[in-house]
Amino acid sequence: MELADIAERVVYMPYTHLWVIGGEEKMEKMNLEHAKQEYAGQWLAFLVTEGTPTGELFGELIARNPDRRELHRELRKRKVKRAYVTFAGPVIKPGYAAIL
């Protein structure tokens, strides 16, 4: 297969780190903490593929969005069954308090 043939079949889906190659999805593997730093202030849907004894989580960033509701809409639309959804930043805004 020629490089030009592959290039025609590769599509990058923005905001997701999702690459579609000839109908097959290929996702970039990353550290959850790195993803939180890179996408600070956004909601992340993360597929955990492995963990370390120290608690580090590695996997694939499925989707991200600053709005939690929009992120969940996108996950439902794409029929994602398993995802760890987390906020990349403080959940409670500075100056506010929460009672649990």
Neighbouring C-beta atoms of residue 85, cutoff 10 Å: 15
Q: What is the pTM of this model?
A: 0.66
Element (H, E) at 43: strand 43-51
Percent of the chain with pLDDT over 90: 52
10-48: per-residue pLDDT in tens? 444 444 444 444 444 556 789 999 999 999 999 999 999
66-75: per-residue pLDDT in tens? 999 999 999 9
pLDDT score, position 62: 92
Domain segments of the chain: what residues? 3-87
pLDDT score, position 57: 92
